[in-house]
Amino acid sequence: MKKFSLLFAWFFSAALSSTAIQAQETPTALPPPQYHGSIVYVTGGIGSDETAAFRRVRSKYSLSLNFSAHTSDGRAAFVSDVQVVVRDQHDSNTVLNITSEGPFCLIQLPAGSYTLHSTYEGVTQTRKITIQENKNTALDLNWPAKP
């Protein structure tokens, strides 16, 4: 019986060690993908672990957006709650209309030309973008400090 108890203790200890090692090696997952029609997107990036996860996978999405705003002391700070509207090349049909849940937004758009409208605290930035097949377009959107 003593051999059985020692063997059980050894297996139990090995199992716990294996689980602990896997937990340390498993990278932080992204928030779950969301859908706007056929467009897949992920938004978030709150905390250093989630930020690292976004940076690891952003090249796998056709459009990667980073949001920040200048503070009154001149530094840039990540921001969330940015309204992101992607419209077709003629700026007539909305392809995507979401609000970011963090400073990063990854979007899987088909190849083509689009108009991007990003609004933070009532200030809208508009950019013409071209998405190429199997390439990543990365944009850093920064808003000026409020007076």
How many other C-beta atoms lie within 10 A of the C-beta of residue 82?
Answer: 24
The model's pTM: 0.79
The angle at the Cα of 135, spanning 130 to 138, to the nearest 5 degrees, equals 65
At 48-67, the pLDDT tens digits run: 999 999 999 999 999 999 99
At 32-46, the pLDDT tens digits run: 999 999 999 999 998
Quote the CA–CA distance of 106 and 104 in Å, as a whole number: 7
